[in-house]
Chain A
Amino acid sequence: ILNVEQSPQSLHVQEGDSTNFTCSFPSSNFYALHWYRWETAKSPEALFVMTLNGDEKKKGRISATLNTKEGYSYLYIKGSQPEDSATYLCAFQGRDDKIIFGKGTRLHILP
């Protein structure tokens, strides 16, 4: 059974602070690691797709890193803003193209 684990499950962060969370995935059969942002009452929206060990991606204040050898990825948010409140999902994409999601990290930004 393929397990994609995200931690923490939930996180409260003061506005202006920086934060990060983790996604762990199997290191075998790896093709890509995806990060998605999911706001309440909307559908998940793609942030990053990373395929190479050591990949780093950045979009504004959000960045992500990838370590395929040890099977983890970090998502960083710098200077959190209220609009960053959402659930952040990571997803493992295998060489069979199957995409398996973690349960997400629910981020709450406190004013």
Chain B
Amino acid sequence: DSGVTQTPKHLITATGQRVTLRCSPRSGDLSVYWYQQSLDQGLQFLIQYYNGEERAKGNILERFSAQQFPDLHSELNLSSLELGDSALYFCASSVLFGTIYFGEGSWLTVV
């Protein structure tokens, strides 16, 4: 158990819908990262937050947004969902410049 909690574990939704994925980092970790793992792709970096502020941005679509709250949990919002958004979404946390620890991931299926 890495100490990073992600919910929900599995989610099936229809095209055009909006979903929110939630992540609670390890105790004491201020950095939260979001990654997308889809078929035949590596872990694609989406976005990073540090202590409530956006720190780095990767290949995150405009339809996606994220935030980190004062209690340090983070949410990834995915809207106007398309079939191609079906993927495993990982959250990871760390202290600044430290090893990152992954949650178990949220499986999103868009039908």
A-side interface residues toward B, CB under 8 Å?
A: 31-32, 34, 42-46, 49, 89, 93, 96-104
Chain B proximity of A68: nearest CB distance (Å): 15
Decide if B25 is an interface residue (CB 8 Å cutoff). no
Tell whether A97 pairs with B56 under 8 Å between CB atoms, given A31-B97, A34-B99, A103-B41.
yes
Chain B residues with Cβ under 8 A from A34's Cβ? 99-100
User: CB within 8 A of A98: which of B41, B42, B45, B105?
Assistant: B45
Tell whether A98 pairs with B101 under 8 Å between CB atoms, given A43-B2, A103-B41, A104-B42.
no
Assembly CA distance A49 to B103 (angstroms): 19
CB <8 Å contact, A49 and B45: no
Chain A residues with Cβ under 8 A from B42's Cβ? 89, 101-104
Assembly CA distance A46 to B3 (angstroms): 13
User: CB within 8 A of B97: which of A44, A45, A97?
Assistant: A97
Assembly CA distance A101 to B44 (angstroms): 7
Chain B residues with Cβ under 8 A from A42's Cβ? 104
Tell whether A43 pairs with B102 under 8 Å between CB atoms, given A89-B43, A103-B42.
yes
Decide if B96 is an interface residue (CB 8 Å cutoff). yes
User: CB within 8 A of A93: which of B55, B97, B103?
Assistant: B97
